[in-house]
Structure 1
Amino acid sequence: MSFTPFFTALFAHHGGFGLNLNPLDTNLINLVIVIGVLVWFLRGFLGGILERRRQAILADLSDAEQRLQSATAALTQAQQDLAAARQKAEQIRQDGQARAHAVRVDSQQRTIEEMARLKEDATADLKAEASRVTALLRREAARQAIEQALASLPAKLDETAQARLIDQSIQNLGNA
Protein backbone atom coordinates (compact mmCIF):
# COMPACT_ATOMS: atom_id res chain seq x y z
CA MET A 1 0.00 0.00 0.00
CA SER A 2 1.42 3.28 -0.97
CA PHE A 3 0.83 6.28 1.21
CA THR A 4 1.89 8.74 -1.40
CA PRO A 5 -1.19 8.54 -3.60
CA PHE A 6 -3.38 8.60 -0.54
CA PHE A 7 -1.87 11.76 0.86
CA THR A 8 -1.70 13.28 -2.54
CA ALA A 9 -5.31 12.52 -3.21
CA LEU A 10 -6.31 13.73 0.23
CA PHE A 11 -4.61 17.10 0.01
CA ALA A 12 -5.11 17.63 -3.70
CA HIS A 13 -8.90 17.40 -3.56
CA HIS A 14 -9.28 19.93 -0.91
CA GLY A 15 -7.29 22.52 -2.85
CA GLY A 16 -5.06 23.50 0.06
CA PHE A 17 -1.71 22.58 1.25
CA GLY A 18 -0.21 19.36 0.05
CA LEU A 19 2.83 17.35 0.78
CA ASN A 20 4.72 15.85 -2.14
CA LEU A 21 7.10 13.16 -0.96
CA ASN A 22 8.24 12.10 -4.42
CA PRO A 23 11.97 12.99 -4.56
CA LEU A 24 12.01 13.25 -8.34
CA ASP A 25 8.93 15.34 -8.46
CA THR A 26 10.07 17.75 -5.74
CA ASN A 27 13.61 18.29 -7.05
CA LEU A 28 14.97 17.16 -3.74
CA ILE A 29 17.88 15.41 -5.43
CA ASN A 30 18.69 18.53 -7.43
CA LEU A 31 18.67 20.60 -4.27
CA VAL A 32 20.99 18.17 -2.48
CA ILE A 33 23.36 18.17 -5.46
CA VAL A 34 23.33 21.98 -5.72
CA ILE A 35 23.85 22.43 -1.99
CA GLY A 36 26.63 19.81 -1.98
CA VAL A 37 28.38 21.51 -4.93
CA LEU A 38 28.00 24.90 -3.30
CA VAL A 39 29.41 23.62 -0.04
CA TRP A 40 32.27 21.86 -1.81
CA PHE A 41 33.19 24.83 -4.02
CA LEU A 42 32.45 27.58 -1.54
CA ARG A 43 34.20 25.80 1.29
CA GLY A 44 37.57 26.70 -0.19
CA PHE A 45 36.48 30.18 -1.22
CA LEU A 46 34.55 31.08 1.93
CA GLY A 47 37.05 29.16 4.07
CA GLY A 48 39.88 31.25 2.61
CA ILE A 49 37.94 34.46 3.16
CA LEU A 50 37.05 33.41 6.69
CA GLU A 51 40.62 32.31 7.41
CA ARG A 52 42.02 35.60 6.10
CA ARG A 53 39.44 37.47 8.18
CA ARG A 54 40.34 35.38 11.22
CA GLN A 55 44.06 36.09 10.65
CA ALA A 56 43.32 39.82 10.26
CA ILE A 57 41.26 39.81 13.46
CA LEU A 58 44.02 37.92 15.30
CA ALA A 59 46.63 40.36 13.98
CA ASP A 60 44.45 43.30 15.04
CA LEU A 61 43.99 41.75 18.47
CA SER A 62 47.72 41.12 18.77
CA ASP A 63 48.45 44.69 17.68
CA ALA A 64 45.87 46.04 20.12
CA GLU A 65 47.37 43.93 22.90
CA GLN A 66 50.86 45.25 22.10
CA ARG A 67 49.54 48.82 22.04
CA LEU A 68 47.79 48.18 25.36
CA GLN A 69 51.02 46.86 26.85
CA SER A 70 53.03 49.84 25.56
CA ALA A 71 50.32 52.25 26.71
CA THR A 72 50.31 50.58 30.13
CA ALA A 73 54.09 50.85 30.30
CA ALA A 74 53.92 54.49 29.20
CA LEU A 75 51.21 55.17 31.80
CA THR A 76 53.31 53.54 34.50
CA GLN A 77 56.35 55.58 33.44
CA ALA A 78 54.26 58.76 33.31
CA GLN A 79 52.90 58.05 36.80
CA GLN A 80 56.44 57.50 38.07
CA ASP A 81 57.57 60.71 36.37
CA LEU A 82 54.61 62.55 37.87
CA ALA A 83 55.42 61.23 41.34
CA ALA A 84 59.07 62.24 40.88
CA ALA A 85 58.02 65.69 39.64
CA ARG A 86 55.69 66.12 42.61
CA GLN A 87 58.47 65.08 44.96
CA LYS A 88 60.87 67.50 43.27
CA ALA A 89 58.29 70.30 43.45
CA GLU A 90 57.77 69.61 47.16
CA GLN A 91 61.53 69.65 47.70
CA ILE A 92 61.84 72.93 45.79
CA ARG A 93 58.97 74.40 47.84
CA GLN A 94 60.62 73.31 51.10
CA ASP A 95 64.00 74.66 49.96
CA GLY A 96 62.36 77.96 49.02
CA GLN A 97 60.68 78.22 52.41
CA ALA A 98 63.96 77.40 54.15
CA ARG A 99 65.80 80.01 52.05
CA ALA A 100 63.11 82.61 52.71
CA HIS A 101 63.32 81.90 56.43
CA ALA A 102 67.14 82.09 56.35
CA VAL A 103 67.01 85.36 54.39
CA ARG A 104 64.45 86.78 56.83
CA VAL A 105 66.55 85.74 59.85
CA ASP A 106 69.72 87.09 58.23
CA SER A 107 67.98 90.35 57.34
CA GLN A 108 66.70 90.71 60.90
CA GLN A 109 70.17 89.96 62.29
CA ARG A 110 71.79 92.51 59.98
CA THR A 111 69.15 95.07 60.92
CA ILE A 112 69.78 94.47 64.62
CA GLU A 113 73.55 94.70 64.10
CA GLU A 114 73.17 97.88 62.04
CA MET A 115 70.92 99.41 64.69
CA ALA A 116 73.44 98.48 67.40
CA ARG A 117 76.26 99.99 65.34
CA LEU A 118 74.28 103.17 64.77
CA LYS A 119 73.51 103.36 68.48
CA GLU A 120 77.21 102.87 69.30
CA ASP A 121 78.15 105.52 66.75
CA ALA A 122 75.55 107.90 68.16
CA THR A 123 76.79 107.21 71.71
CA ALA A 124 80.40 107.72 70.62
CA ASP A 125 79.45 110.94 68.82
CA LEU A 126 77.55 112.09 71.88
CA LYS A 127 80.50 111.31 74.16
CA ALA A 128 82.91 113.04 71.80
CA GLU A 129 80.67 116.10 71.62
CA ALA A 130 80.30 116.07 75.42
CA SER A 131 84.10 115.82 75.80
CA ARG A 132 84.59 118.63 73.30
CA VAL A 133 82.05 120.84 75.04
CA THR A 134 83.54 119.98 78.45
CA ALA A 135 87.06 120.80 77.19
CA LEU A 136 85.77 124.01 75.65
CA LEU A 137 84.04 124.97 78.89
CA ARG A 138 87.21 124.17 80.88
CA ARG A 139 89.34 126.26 78.55
CA GLU A 140 86.87 129.10 78.71
CA ALA A 141 86.73 128.85 82.52
CA ALA A 142 90.54 128.72 82.70
CA ARG A 143 90.85 131.68 80.34
CA GLN A 144 88.42 133.69 82.40
CA ALA A 145 90.20 132.65 85.60
CA ILE A 146 93.56 133.67 84.11
CA GLU A 147 92.15 136.99 82.93
CA GLN A 148 90.72 137.65 86.35
CA ALA A 149 93.93 136.58 88.03
CA LEU A 150 96.02 138.74 85.70
CA ALA A 151 93.69 141.64 86.26
CA SER A 152 93.85 141.31 90.05
CA LEU A 153 97.48 140.20 90.24
CA PRO A 154 99.24 143.56 89.81
CA ALA A 155 97.23 145.01 92.64
CA LYS A 156 97.93 142.13 95.03
CA LEU A 157 101.43 141.24 94.07
CA ASP A 158 104.29 143.41 95.28
CA GLU A 159 107.94 142.86 94.54
CA THR A 160 108.66 140.58 97.50
CA ALA A 161 105.68 138.42 96.87
CA GLN A 162 106.64 138.28 93.22
CA ALA A 163 110.18 137.14 94.05
CA ARG A 164 108.85 134.54 96.46
CA LEU A 165 106.45 133.21 93.79
CA ILE A 166 109.22 132.97 91.23
CA ASP A 167 111.49 131.15 93.68
CA GLN A 168 108.74 128.76 94.60
CA SER A 169 107.99 128.04 90.94
CA ILE A 170 111.66 127.39 90.19
CA GLN A 171 111.91 125.07 93.16
CA ASN A 172 108.79 123.18 91.99
CA LEU A 173 110.33 122.82 88.55
CA GLY A 174 113.56 121.51 90.08
CA ASN A 175 111.69 118.85 92.07
CA ALA A 176 109.75 117.65 89.17
Structure 2
Amino acid sequence: MTLNFNPLETNLVNLAIVIGVLVWFLRGFLGGILDRRRQAILQELQDAETRLKTATEELSKAQSDLAAAQQKADKIRVDGEARAAAIRSDGEQRTIAAMAAVKQGAAADADAEAARIKDILRREAALAAIDKVLSDLPSRLDDQAQARLIDSTITNLENA
Protein backbone atom coordinates (compact mmCIF):
# COMPACT_ATOMS: atom_id res chain seq x y z
CA MET A 1 0.00 0.00 0.00
CA THR A 2 1.26 3.30 -0.89
CA LEU A 3 0.73 6.28 1.11
CA ASN A 4 -0.78 9.19 -0.59
CA PHE A 5 0.43 12.40 0.82
CA ASN A 6 -1.77 14.52 -1.28
CA PRO A 7 -3.87 16.28 1.36
CA LEU A 8 -6.72 17.06 -0.96
CA GLU A 9 -7.26 13.49 -2.01
CA THR A 10 -6.63 12.02 1.40
CA ASN A 11 -9.00 14.28 3.28
CA LEU A 12 -11.76 13.85 0.77
CA VAL A 13 -11.58 10.10 0.88
CA ASN A 14 -11.39 10.03 4.66
CA LEU A 15 -14.21 12.47 4.91
CA ALA A 16 -16.36 10.44 2.53
CA ILE A 17 -15.63 7.29 4.51
CA VAL A 18 -16.47 8.97 7.83
CA ILE A 19 -19.67 10.44 6.45
CA GLY A 20 -20.68 7.12 4.94
CA VAL A 21 -20.01 5.29 8.21
CA LEU A 22 -21.88 7.93 10.19
CA VAL A 23 -24.84 7.81 7.86
CA TRP A 24 -24.86 4.01 7.93
CA PHE A 25 -24.62 3.62 11.69
CA LEU A 26 -26.46 6.71 12.80
CA ARG A 27 -29.31 6.32 10.34
CA GLY A 28 -31.14 3.95 12.62
CA PHE A 29 -30.31 5.88 15.78
CA LEU A 30 -30.97 9.38 14.45
CA GLY A 31 -33.83 8.13 12.30
CA GLY A 32 -35.50 6.65 15.38
CA ILE A 33 -35.03 9.85 17.36
CA LEU A 34 -36.32 11.97 14.49
CA ASP A 35 -39.21 9.58 13.88
CA ARG A 36 -40.19 9.65 17.56
CA ARG A 37 -39.94 13.44 17.54
CA ARG A 38 -42.05 13.61 14.39
CA GLN A 39 -44.65 11.29 15.99
CA ALA A 40 -44.69 13.42 19.15
CA ILE A 41 -45.17 16.59 17.11
CA LEU A 42 -47.97 14.97 15.10
CA GLN A 43 -49.63 13.77 18.31
CA GLU A 44 -49.37 17.25 19.81
CA LEU A 45 -50.89 18.71 16.64
CA GLN A 46 -53.76 16.22 16.81
CA ASP A 47 -54.28 17.03 20.50
CA ALA A 48 -54.24 20.74 19.69
CA GLU A 49 -56.78 20.21 16.90
CA THR A 50 -58.97 18.19 19.27
CA ARG A 51 -58.73 20.88 21.94
CA LEU A 52 -59.49 23.53 19.31
CA LYS A 53 -62.53 21.60 18.14
CA THR A 54 -63.71 21.10 21.74
CA ALA A 55 -63.12 24.76 22.55
CA THR A 56 -64.99 25.79 19.40
CA GLU A 57 -67.94 23.58 20.34
CA GLU A 58 -67.93 24.91 23.90
CA LEU A 59 -67.74 28.47 22.59
CA SER A 60 -70.67 27.82 20.29
CA LYS A 61 -72.66 26.30 23.16
CA ALA A 62 -71.74 29.19 25.45
CA GLN A 63 -72.80 31.69 22.79
CA SER A 64 -76.14 29.95 22.33
CA ASP A 65 -76.59 29.82 26.12
CA LEU A 66 -75.74 33.52 26.30
CA ALA A 67 -78.27 34.31 23.57
CA ALA A 68 -80.92 32.28 25.42
CA ALA A 69 -80.07 34.04 28.68
CA GLN A 70 -80.30 37.42 26.98
CA GLN A 71 -83.69 36.52 25.54
CA LYS A 72 -84.85 35.37 28.96
CA ALA A 73 -83.52 38.57 30.54
CA ASP A 74 -85.30 40.64 27.89
CA LYS A 75 -88.53 38.75 28.54
CA ILE A 76 -88.16 39.25 32.29
CA ARG A 77 -87.48 42.96 31.74
CA VAL A 78 -90.51 43.33 29.45
CA ASP A 79 -92.69 41.42 31.91
CA GLY A 80 -91.39 43.58 34.75
CA GLU A 81 -92.12 46.76 32.84
CA ALA A 82 -95.63 45.53 32.03
CA ARG A 83 -96.20 44.61 35.68
CA ALA A 84 -94.88 47.99 36.81
CA ALA A 85 -97.22 49.73 34.37
CA ALA A 86 -100.15 47.65 35.65
CA ILE A 87 -99.25 48.42 39.26
CA ARG A 88 -98.85 52.10 38.42
CA SER A 89 -102.23 52.13 36.65
CA ASP A 90 -103.86 50.32 39.55
CA GLY A 91 -102.32 52.80 41.98
CA GLU A 92 -103.56 55.70 39.90
CA GLN A 93 -107.07 54.23 39.83
CA ARG A 94 -106.99 53.69 43.59
CA THR A 95 -105.78 57.24 44.10
CA ILE A 96 -108.55 58.60 41.89
CA ALA A 97 -111.12 56.50 43.77
CA ALA A 98 -109.73 57.66 47.12
CA MET A 99 -109.77 61.27 45.97
CA ALA A 100 -113.38 60.87 44.80
CA ALA A 101 -114.31 59.34 48.16
CA VAL A 102 -112.57 62.19 49.99
CA LYS A 103 -114.33 64.73 47.78
CA GLN A 104 -117.66 63.00 48.32
CA GLY A 105 -116.99 62.86 52.06
CA ALA A 106 -116.07 66.53 52.06
CA ALA A 107 -119.24 67.36 50.14
CA ALA A 108 -121.28 65.28 52.59
CA ASP A 109 -119.55 67.00 55.50
CA ALA A 110 -120.23 70.39 53.93
CA ASP A 111 -123.89 69.47 53.37
CA ALA A 112 -124.18 68.21 56.95
CA GLU A 113 -122.53 71.37 58.26
CA ALA A 114 -124.85 73.50 56.13
CA ALA A 115 -127.86 71.59 57.45
CA ARG A 116 -126.60 71.99 61.01
CA ILE A 117 -126.06 75.72 60.52
CA LYS A 118 -129.54 76.06 58.96
CA ASP A 119 -130.99 74.22 61.94
CA ILE A 120 -129.12 76.50 64.36
CA LEU A 121 -130.25 79.58 62.43
CA ARG A 122 -133.87 78.36 62.43
CA ARG A 123 -133.68 77.67 66.14
CA GLU A 124 -132.13 81.07 66.83
CA ALA A 125 -134.71 82.76 64.59
CA ALA A 126 -137.51 80.90 66.35
CA LEU A 127 -136.08 81.79 69.77
CA ALA A 128 -135.69 85.41 68.71
CA ALA A 129 -139.26 85.46 67.41
CA ILE A 130 -140.51 83.87 70.62
CA ASP A 131 -138.53 86.37 72.69
CA LYS A 132 -139.95 89.24 70.65
CA VAL A 133 -143.48 87.89 70.88
CA LEU A 134 -143.09 87.32 74.61
CA SER A 135 -141.82 90.83 75.08
CA ASP A 136 -144.51 92.38 72.84
CA LEU A 137 -147.39 90.12 73.84
CA PRO A 138 -148.07 91.45 77.33
CA SER A 139 -148.39 94.98 76.02
CA ARG A 140 -150.68 93.95 73.16
CA LEU A 141 -152.91 91.50 74.94
CA ASP A 142 -155.23 92.49 77.65
CA ASP A 143 -157.00 89.98 79.86
CA GLN A 144 -159.92 89.53 77.52
CA ALA A 145 -157.66 88.97 74.46
CA GLN A 146 -155.58 86.47 76.42
CA ALA A 147 -158.71 84.51 77.34
CA ARG A 148 -159.84 84.43 73.69
CA LEU A 149 -156.36 83.30 72.58
CA ILE A 150 -156.30 80.53 75.16
CA ASP A 151 -159.82 79.40 74.21
CA SER A 152 -159.03 79.34 70.49
CA THR A 153 -155.79 77.43 71.12
CA ILE A 154 -157.66 74.85 73.21
CA THR A 155 -160.30 74.52 70.50
CA ASN A 156 -157.63 74.07 67.83
CA LEU A 157 -155.93 71.43 69.92
CA GLU A 158 -159.19 69.55 70.44
CA ASN A 159 -159.96 69.57 66.71
CA ALA A 160 -156.51 68.48 65.73
TM-score of the alignment, normalized to the shorter chain, above 0.5:
yes
Residue matched to 2:154: 166
Residue matched to 1:19: none
The reply on whether 1:84 has 2:68 as its aligned counterpart is yes
How far, CA to CA, are the matches of 1:118 and 1:38 in structure 2? 113
Residue matched to 1:114: 98
Residue matched to 2:78: 94
| Deviates further, 54-63 or 86-95 | 86-95
How far, CA to CA, are the matches of 1:64 and 1:160 in structure 2? 135
How far, CA to CA, are the matches of 1:73 and 1:133 in structure 2? 88
Equivalent position SS for 1:62: helix
Q: Per-residue CA shift, 1:26-69, capped at 9, x if unaligned?
A: 46776665444322211111110111111111111111012101
Note the aligned Cα RMSD (angstroms).
2.3
**Equivalent AA in structure 1 for residue 120 of structure 2:** L
Output aligned runs, 1:37-52, within 5 Å.
Answer: 37-52=21-36
**Equivalent AA in structure 2 for residue 37 of structure 1:** V
**Identity among equivalent pairs (%):** 56
Cα deviation for residue 166 of structure 1 reads 1.0
**Equivalent AA in structure 1 for residue 105 of structure 2:** D
How far, CA to CA, are the matches of 1:40 and 1:93 in structure 2? 77
Name which one, 1 or 2, has greater alpha-carbon Rg: 1
Cα deviation for residue 84 of structure 1 reads 1.7
Cα deviation for residue 92 of structure 1 reads 2.5
TM value normalised by structure 1: 0.72
TM value normalised by structure 2: 0.79
Consecutive unaligned residues of structure 2, counting only runs of 5 or more, are 1-7
How far, CA to CA, are the matches of 2:133 and 2:158 in structure 1? 20
Consecutive unaligned residues of structure 1, counting only runs of 5 or more, are 1-24
Greater relative contact order: 1 or 2 (C-alpha under 8 angstroms, separation 6 or more)? 1
